[in-house]
Structure 1
Amino acid sequence: MLFEHLQYYGVSRKIIEAMNKIDRKLFVPSELQESAYLDIPLPIGYGQTISAPHMVGMMCEYLELKDGDRVLEIGTGSGYNAAVMSLLVGESGWIYTIERIPELVQEAQKRINLLGINNITIIVGDGKEGLEEYAPFDKITVTCYAKHIPKKLIEQLKDNGIMVIPVGNEYVQILKLIRKSGEKIIEEDLTHVRFVPMQ
Structure 2
Amino acid sequence: MISSNQEMIEYLESNGVLKSLRLKSALEYADRKKFVVSHYKDSAYFDFPIEITGGQTISQPSTVAFMLELLDVKNGNNVLDIGAGSGWVSVILSKLVGQNGKVYAFEINKRIGKIGQQNINQFARNNIYYEVIDAKQKWQNYLPYDRIHSAAAFARIPEDLLNTLVINGIIIAPTQDGFIRKITRLNKNNFHEERFYGFSFVPFHN
TM-score for the superposition, normalised by structure 1: 0.93
The reply to whether residue 192 of structure 1 matches residue 198 of structure 2 is yes
Please state how far the C-alpha of 1:10 moved relative to its aligned partner: 3.4
Letter in 2 for 1:59: M
Where structure 1 has 5 or more consecutive residues not aligned to the other structure, the ranges are: none
SS at match of 1:168: coil
Alignment of 1:1-199 (within 5 A): 1-2=6-7, 3-7=9-13, 8-11=15-18, 12-129=20-137, 131-169=139-177, 173-182=178-187, 183-199=189-205
Aligned residues: 196
CA-based RMSD of the aligned residues comes to 1.4
Distance 1:45 1:34 in 2: 17
**How much has 1:47 moved relative to structure 2?**
2.6
Identity of aligned residues (%): 35
Contact 2:176 2:201 in 1 (8 A): no
Contiguous gaps of at least 5 residues in structure 2: 1-5
Listed one character per residue, the Cα deviations across residues 73-119 of structure 1 (whole Å, up to 9, x for unaligned) are 11011000101111111111111011101222222112211112111
Letter in 1 for 2:204: M
- Quick check: 98-107 or 62-71, which moved more? 98-107
Secondary structure at 1:60 match in 2: helix
Letter of the 2:186 partner, please give it.
S
C-alpha spacing 1:9/1:193, structure 2 compared with 1 (3 Å): farther
